[in-house]
């Protein structure tokens, strides 16, 4: 029984799991932001490319 209670009180792996969860949440937020901004960013680059092509003519 003491092995089981010692296992329940052991928190050495909790920090690693918390950092992993934080990294996962940050990753999901970055992916969501890129999905939201990605289309508009593509439009901006296409516009710039079109303007550069027209400037060379």
Give pLDDT tens digits for 7-52: 667 766 677 888 899 999 999 999 999 888 888 888 999 999 999 9
Q: Which long-range contacts (C-beta less than 8 Å, at least 24 apart) are formed by 31-37?
A: none
Spatial distance between the Cα atoms of 55 and 18, rounded to a whole number of angstroms: 53
What integer pLDDT is reported at residue 45 of this predicted model? 93
What integer pLDDT is reported at residue 25 of this predicted model? 97
What integer pLDDT is reported at residue 29 of this predicted model? 96
What integer pLDDT is reported at residue 1 of this predicted model? 65
pTM of the predicted protein model: 0.54
Report the chain's terminal Cα–Cα distance, integer Å: 83
Token pair recorded at residue 3: 């092995």
Token pair recorded at residue 34: 């890129």
Vertex 51 angle, CA 47 and 53, to 5°: 115
């Amino acid at each position: 029984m003491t092995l089981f209670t010692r296992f329940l009180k052991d928190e050495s792996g909790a920090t690693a799991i918390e950092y992993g969860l934080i990294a996962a949440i940050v990753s999901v937020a970055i992916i969501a932001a890129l999905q939201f901004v990605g289309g508009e960013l593509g439009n901006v680059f296409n516009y710039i490319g079109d303007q550069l092509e027209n400037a060379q003519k």
